Structure 1
Amino acid sequence: MKLTPRYNVAPGTWITAVRHPRDDAPLVMDEVWWGYRPHWAKEKAPEPINATVEKVATSNYFRGAFAHHRCLVPADGWYEWLPVGGRKQPHFLCREDREPIWLAGIWSQRPDGTPGCAILTEPARGVAAEIHSRMPLALDAESLEPWLDPHLTDRETIRHVVHHLPAERITHWPVSMRVNRPTQDDAELIEPVDP
């Protein structure tokens, strides 16, 4: 699969993920729809883009995917918006060393047969809490393999072997308001600006 840089990834689009398409299948890096609706859900069922760490293992809507269909979404960072003077200033959040971030996700086969995913979120930590109350669940390097292990299905075991990226490794800066338009997608979007 050829990866093309994207700088403004909107929900309801195809995104890259690493996953086991079946329990006995090798890992693949392919595209999944950023919107989670399991194949058994009704036509008007919600299609969330996120699932909270507090409920993902126990919610009827998510728990099957949490136990059997976890995935990783590679990213350089993510955007959040900080209210400033009656408007919302976008910020880019990333690792201080600018290394890739692996976001924890779950996926399910959608009613149309394609895979769809939701990214897990947790309460914001460190400097991320300056911008927003929640953040994606970014995993540390040692957690990637167990997160993807299809044979690891017990909630408590997963909780003990999977850890988030330390908060002190995350930084942020204000970026262009152009990021508010999904049609804008270029490297300048993640460059710092003077708000």
Structure 2
Amino acid sequence: MCYSTRQTREREELEKILSVKALLGEVDNDLELIHFHANGWSHPLMWIIPQEEPNNITPGMWGIMPSKSKGADYKEYFKNYKTFGGLNAKSEKLFDHFIYRYSWEHKRCLIPIDGFFEPHNTKVKVKGKDFKVPFYFKKKNNDPIYLAGIYTSTSDGYNTFTILTKDATPMFANIHNEKFRRPIIINDEDMDAWLANGNTEDDVQNLIDDDLWEGELEAYPITKDLYSRTIDSNRNNIIEKVEYEEVSIEY
């Protein structure tokens, strides 16, 4: 699953790369949504490219909520709806889930990020517990990654989104070796197709099935500070490579 991401590009740079403009509404015009480590469980605001406004980036809260709910009440909502915190959505349920089925057709989105983090279970026990190590995934050429998502617009005007996932491909199964899932990453050449109106279920499914080839990605282990509740992980050097004797896989 994908619960942690990184996005360090300033708004102006994203606007230039994507040929879009920021759509902010009543949000501060100087808003910069920079996250060295965006922890999904804190439901941060992140940039999304919404299907309804494909020439814009706009803030969206990570953690999808029903459109009839109030985004301002997200803490209370997620206290009662704990399953994945609305952070991820299985693409296999996209067309029939009670929230997702109202979004797949007209409210697909892209989430531009630098990279994302996934845990690896080393199968080694330390003090009787599994020794898990975070890995950082990014494109080999350091270009942005475009995660596939869907979003809702709540009754009080919040955009809330979730990241779509599917069964792990070999690289992900080797590293993310408990959940065996991977986020769906839209190919650069398919971005317009993902956001296009009029897509059928088959059109959307084909884009999911034929998403970014994992060979364009690299992944490596980083500090376990990422998991700490007492150490600040939202720092620039959080993605520095760390070697662990316990990690025996090739990456």
TM class, shorter-length = 0.7 to 0.9
3-state SS, counterpart of residue 40 of structure 1? coil
Looking at structure 1, the residues matched to 105 and 94 of structure 2 have their Cα atoms a distance apart, in angstroms, of 10
Which one of the candidate residues 54, 63, 88 is aligned to 1:35?
Answer: 63
Match of 1:136 in 2: 183
Looking at structure 2, the residues matched to 52 and 60 of structure 1 have their Cα atoms a distance apart, in angstroms, of 13
Contact 2:47 2:112 (C-alpha < 8 Å) held by counterparts: yes
**Amino acid corresponding to residue 242 of structure 2 in structure 1:** V
**Amino acid corresponding to residue 46 of structure 2 in structure 1:** I
Q: Does 2:62 match 1:18? A: no
Match of 2:220 in 1: 173
Match of 1:56 in 2: 94
What's the offset of the Cα at 1:115? Answer: 0.5
Q: Does 2:103 match 1:65? A: yes
**Amino acid corresponding to residue 50 of structure 2 in structure 1:** R
Aligned length, in residue pairs: 191
Match of 2:159 in 1: 115
Change (3 A) 1:194 1:26: closer
3-state SS, counterpart of residue 16 of structure 1? strand
What's the offset of the Cα at 1:45? Answer: 5.3
Looking at structure 2, the residues matched to 62 and 105 of structure 1 have their Cα atoms a distance apart, in angstroms, of 10
Looking at structure 1, the residues matched to 207 and 63 of structure 2 have their Cα atoms a distance apart, in angstroms, of 27
Structure 1: 5+ residue runs without aligned partners? none
Contact 1:39 1:113 (C-alpha < 8 Å) held by counterparts: no
Which one of the candidate residues 193, 196, 202 is aligned to 1:156?
Answer: 202
Which one of the candidate residues 177, 188, 191 is aligned to 2:237?
Answer: 188
Looking at structure 1, the residues matched to 33 and 89 of structure 2 have their Cα atoms a distance apart, in angstroms, of 26
| Higher share of residues assigned helix | 2
Deviation by residue 1:130-163 (Cα, 9 ceiling, x = unmatched):
12111110111121001111x2241112223563
Structure 2: 5+ residue runs without aligned partners? 1-10, 13-31, 71-76, 125-129, 245-251
Match of 2:36 in 1: 7
RMSD: 2.1
Contact 1:15 1:34 (C-alpha < 8 Å) held by counterparts: yes
Contact 1:173 1:192 (C-alpha < 8 Å) held by counterparts: yes
What's the offset of the Cα at 1:110? Answer: 2.2
Deviates further, 176-185 or 48-57: 176-185
What's the offset of the Cα at 1:181? Answer: 3.7
Contact 1:152 1:158 (C-alpha < 8 Å) held by counterparts: no
Identical columns (%): 24
Give the TM-score normalised by the residue count of structure 1: 0.88
Change (3 A) 1:161 1:80: closer
**Amino acid corresponding to residue 37 of structure 1 in structure 2:** M
Give the TM-score normalised by the residue count of structure 2: 0.69
Change (3 A) 1:33 1:156: same
